[in-house]
Structure 1
Amino acid sequence: MIRQILNRLGQGLLVLFVLFTLTFFLVRSLPTGPFKTERAIPEHIQAKMEAYYGLDQPLLVQYQKRLVNLLSGDLGLSLRLEGREVSEIISQSFPVSLQLGLVAIVLAITIGVPLGILAAWRKNSLTDYGAMALAMVGICIPSFVIGPVLADQFGRRMEILPAMGWSPLSPAFWILPALTLGLISAAYLSRLTRAGMLETLNQDFVRTARAKGVSEGRILSHHCLRGGLIPAVAYIGPAFAAIISGSLVIESIFAIPGLGTHFIKSIETGDEPVITGVVLLYGSLIILANIATDLLGVWLNPRLRSTR
């Protein structure tokens, strides 16, 4: 198991290297730039600014220096925010995005998994059809449509919940953006949980337990739940990836002071250090989430230990 974890970590480092390389050269190919604004900057001033940040050097030399700095833990300086360190920007903004993402994934699991279990337990009933219909609606509607609708209905018209802003200690500010991010993942989780539970319910050991007179509730909780959740658990890693990447847009909709604002502005201005820092951060989180998901899957299904 330890060998497999180290192998996955090595693969993750390779993925981060590829992410950095692609991000660096793609940003450099953008027509925009940190010093290309609507108000023209004198050429001699722009030349000095580019020399200060090393942008006057050949592209491969810039790439080599950025890679060496990253390996030493230096994310560089922002080109847009007057030389602020990228690590400082991330440390100030990321806790908000992380809290929002964690609340959203918890809501997705809390809604999706019980809904899928209930649908499997009541197979081919109105409960099953209704739950899967709701799941399909949740899958079809994108989060950037759900967000404004929730903000308008519950924030502006009904004035039940705040539609803008953020407070780390006030759950009222979390509900609408977390629901927006979590509903689509909850829909997928409900369908995967239903499929996994139905497959487990059709196994021979379940029929044996029923023949022995074991109650349906005990069969569901003690015999089927662990194996039936394996497909849903395998999806949690990609779901977390979808949530944290989707939060960049949702933060703009709900005016949340997370990394989303900095990331979008950095793309508009070609601020490569900030873009690279955010991409590598989210890439690292996705890799760690997938590793944790694999470990949880092995715990739920001991048969996987022999194949890893």
Structure 2
Amino acid sequence: MLANIFSRLLQGLLVLFVLFTVTFFLIKALPGGPFKSTERAIPEHIRAKIEAYYGLDKPTAVQYVIQLKNYIINQDLGTSLRLEGRQVSEIIGQAFPVSCMLGVVAMMVAIVIGIPLGVIAAWKKNSWMDYSAMAVAMIGICIPSFVVGPVLADQFGRRMSLLPAMGWDATHPTSWILPSITLGLATAAYLSRLTRAGMLDILNQDFTRTARAKGVDSFRLLVRHCLRGGLIPAVAFIGPAFAAIISGSVVIESIFAMPGLGLHFIKAIQVGDAPVILGIVLLYGLLIITANFITDLLGMWLNPRLRGNR
């Protein structure tokens, strides 16, 4: 088990290094630059001095080595080229709590909706409850969040005036509801289908049939004998799904005008603000790696067969 954990940690570090390298050179391959595509033209000699100040006049390979050194040795994410004087770590520190809170609430929505639907669908296999739950899940998968978001905002925010349609206030949970539901519905749909598949596999096992033959009541059979094993596929999905929710909240944050990482990420791409793009991409990568690692640990706890060396 310890060998598996150590191996996953090394794999995570390797993934971060590859992610940094690929993202860095992709940014350099973008046309234009932070000081070439501004609304107001900058004189050539001034632009040259600005690029020299930020080290952008050096060869790409030299910039790569300097940036990598700052990340590894100095733990310095650099300074934003768009927001003069502001550190990337400061920008992320202010915006990430909003994206993280949105992701947590959206994940809770997905779990509360998706797992019970999957359990009920499996328990009532081939019944109207099963067909209805899976039909709802399929609709949730097919309709993208950028369609669901405006519809919910228009219906519940503008027409019915029940919930705030724009903005985010950490002290008023009503502002969380619409963006969290919009972001969590698709994940809930996937969770319900994975839960149903996992539960059906356990319900068809020999020990389940033996328990039924011995007269174990339905509720005890479901909770004590089937639920733990049946949730393994869903648990394996929850970790990456949580990271994907946070990294995929860019569109939702734009729809509901939320001051999260999505706003800074979009603007950084528009102007070619490389330090901000790199910082946010690496943060998203770290989130996905951490979520996968935690999911692996939960999987080992739920399934002892995963604890051996593979």
**Could you list the per-position Cα deviations for residues 191-232 of structure 1 after superposition, in whole angstroms to 9, with x for gaps in the alignment?**
010111011011111111111111111100000000000111
Tell me the SS of whatever aligns to 2:68: helix
Equivalences for 1:105-144 in 2 at 5 Å? 105-144=107-146
How far off is 1:235 after superposition? 0.9
Matched-pair contact (CA < 8 Å) for 2:3–2:309: no
One-letter amino acid matched to 1:151: A
CA distance, structure 1, for counterparts of residue 200 and residue 221 of structure 2: 12
**Could you list the per-position Cα deviations for residues 222-255 of structure 1 after superposition, in whole angstroms to 9, with x for gaps in the alignment?**
0000000011111112212321121111111100
One-letter amino acid matched to 1:2: L
CA distance, structure 2, for counterparts of residue 262 and residue 228 of structure 1: 40
Asked whether 1:28 is paired with 2:57, we answer no
How far off is 1:301 after superposition? 1.0
The residue number in structure 1 matching 2:42 is: 41
CA distance, structure 2, for counterparts of residue 17 and residue 60 of structure 1: 15
Runs of 4+ in 1 over 6 A off after TM superposition: none
Equivalences for 1:130-169 in 2 at 5 Å? 130-169=132-171
Matched-pair contact (CA < 8 Å) for 2:244–2:288: no
How far off is 1:9 after superposition? 1.1
CA distance, structure 1, for counterparts of residue 295 and residue 79 of structure 2: 34
Q: Which runs of 5+ in 1 are unaligned?
A: none
The residue number in structure 1 matching 2:18 is: 18
CA distance, structure 2, for counterparts of residue 257 and residue 121 of structure 1: 42
Matched-pair contact (CA < 8 Å) for 2:253–2:259: yes
State TM-score, norm by structure 1. Answer: 0.98
The residue number in structure 2 matching 1:52 is: 53
CA distance, structure 1, for counterparts of residue 260 and residue 180 of structure 2: 13
Alignment match of 1:244 (pick from 246, 256, 260): 246
CA distance, structure 2, for counterparts of residue 169 and residue 3 of structure 1: 44
**Could you list the per-position Cα deviations for residues 109-134 of structure 1 after superposition, in whole angstroms to 9, with x for gaps in the alignment?**
11100010011111111111000000
The residue number in structure 1 matching 2:65 is: 64
Q: What do you get for the CA RMSD once the two structures are aligned? A: 1.0
One-letter amino acid matched to 2:145: S
Matched-pair contact (CA < 8 Å) for 1:32–1:268: no
One-letter amino acid matched to 2:271: T
Q: Which runs of 5+ in 2 are unaligned?
A: none
Say how many residue pairs are matched. 308
**Could you list the per-position Cα deviations for residues 260-279 of structure 1 after superposition, in whole angstroms to 9, with x for gaps in the alignment?**
10000000000000000000
**Could you list the per-position Cα deviations for residues 251-305 of structure 1 after superposition, in whole angstroms to 9, with x for gaps in the alignment?**
1110000111000000000000000000001100110000100111111111222
How far off is 1:29 after superposition? 1.1
**Could you list the per-position Cα deviations for residues 79-137 of structure 1 after superposition, in whole angstroms to 9, with x for gaps in the alignment?**
00013110010111111111111111111111100010011111111111000000000
One-letter amino acid matched to 2:42: I
CA distance, structure 1, for counterparts of residue 306 and residue 8 of structure 2: 16
State TM-score, norm by structure 2. Answer: 0.97
Equivalences for 1:157-306 in 2 at 5 Å? 157-306=159-308
The more displaced of 25-34 and 109-118 is 25-34
How far off is 1:307 after superposition? 4.2
Asked whether 1:75 is paired with 2:77, we answer yes
CA distance, structure 1, for counterparts of residue 209 and residue 3 of structure 2: 38
**Could you list the per-position Cα deviations for residues 157-213 of structure 1 after superposition, in whole angstroms to 9, with x for gaps in the alignment?**
111110100011211111111111110010000001011101101111111111111
